[in-house]
Amino acid sequence: MDFNLSEEQLMIRQAARDFAQTELLPGVIERDEKQEFPTEQIKKMGELGFLGMMVSPEYGGSGLDTVSYALAMEEISKIDASASVVMSVNNSLVCWGLENFGTEEQKQKYLTKLATGEVIGAFCLSEPEAGSDATSQKTTAIDKGDHYLLNGTKNWITNGSSADVYLVIAQTYPEKGHKGINALIVEKGMPGFEIGPKEQKLGIRGSDTHSLLFTDVKVPKENRIGEDGFGFKFAMKTLSGGRIGIASQALGIAAGAYDLAREYSKVRKAFGTEICNHQAIAFKLADMHTQIEAARHLVLKAAWDKDNGSNYDLSGAVAKLYASQVAMDTTVEAVQIHGGNGYVKEYHVERLMRDAKITQIYEGTSEIQKIVISRSVLRD
């Protein structure tokens, strides 16, 4: 067993760390306050290869492994979880889905631009009445010969207004249940495609979350991903890898809050000594460190499973379930260690605490991860 990272993985981690410090940290508080999308920063992330990390160089990607991606996600998330969710959706849902299941034409037309960040993508599964219960798709894609006629509403879509390419899951044959679902590539600007208002959120406020409305949108047949009826499997297979990205995000949020709390405890004095000398604070740091180390091992193991052809449905769900809980616990304690300063914006930990919560909700809630995990362990 080798726990060492390769030279390349260390280099990627350092590059992401440097980028986060120099490009994301300045302005992160203001973007959160104003709910402002990090447009310039995302553009630079594309130029540096952070938006198509695992895509083959043949399609404009960086050709890196999932471990490198997880390391970069952790570093970006320590500073700006709004930027990292854009990165996660583009890399592990949109690019990965297209590279693994798209046709050569779809890859040439869409993936090459998505991998370089020339455009960004969105993944559209959730609906007002189909969140956790994802097979209950109400959006319809009716087969009209050379095209599908798309009608319905998608909810909570990350990159909702900033994306140009949308992977939309919709029901073609309701009588076939999940086996009648398709995944279609929809472009911004297709007639009948409207973007709803931006959601006002608790956390990851720099990311743009919107509902999407489709009214008789004509989507060419060549925009279907995979065989007829493959759409639900497509979504599930893609989300298995996506969950590793969100687990890395949760880990980064936790690690970012821990770093701040540890440093703060070494300079803040109470009762004539630095607060880290009070055992109650030192023990909190010990617990935080232990939980973060455990989460990091689970995240990297899931990424390693994906890189090595092992099944990662289970390890990805385990990593997401645990890391998101660690993100919540650690950020709450980081605020506590900061005392009153933890409750105000300039110390960053209150934002990290708000950002942490979403990691227990999207890409499958914690309850859904437990369903995936329990079904897997009982089956095995």
Nearest approach, Cβ of residue 325 and ligand FAD (Å): 14
Buried b (16+ CB within 10 A) or exposed e, 21-54: eebbeebbeebbeebebbeebbeebbebbbbbbb
Buried b (16+ CB within 10 A) or exposed e, 307-328: beeeebbbbbbbbbbbbbbbbb
12-51: which residues touch ligand FAD (CB under 6 A)? none
The DSSP call for residue 344 is S
Toward ligand FAD, which CB reaches closer, 125 or 185? 125
Phi, psi (deg, nearest 5) at residue 121: -120, 165
Q: Which partner in ligand CAA, ligand FAD, none is near 124 (CB below 5 to 8 A by kind)?
A: ligand FAD
Nearest approach, Cβ of residue 35 and ligand CAA (Å): 17
Active site residue 363: yes
- What character string, x for contact with ligand FAD (CB under 6 A) and - otherwise, covers 184-213? -----------------x--x----x----
Q: Which of 178, 185, 186, 184 is nearest to 232 (CA)?
A: 178
- What character string, x for contact with ligand CAA (CB under 6 A) and - otherwise, covers 264-283? --------------------
The CA distance from 81 to 78, in Å, is: 7
Name the percent of the chain in helix, strand, coil, to the closest 5. Answer: 60, 15, 25
The CA distance from 245 to 301, in Å, is: 13
53-112: which residues touch ligand CAA (CB under 6 A)? 85, 89
- What character string, x for contact with ligand CAA (CB under 6 A) and - otherwise, covers 160-179? ------------------x-
User: How many Å from the N-terminal Cα to the C-terminal Cα in the chain?
Assistant: 24
Binding site for ligand FAD (CB under 6 A): 89, 123-126, 131-133, 156-158, 201, 204, 209, 358, 361-365, 367-368
Binding site for ligand CAA (CB under 6 A): 85, 89, 123, 125-126, 132, 134-135, 158, 178, 232-233, 236-237, 239-240, 313, 362-364, 368, 371-372
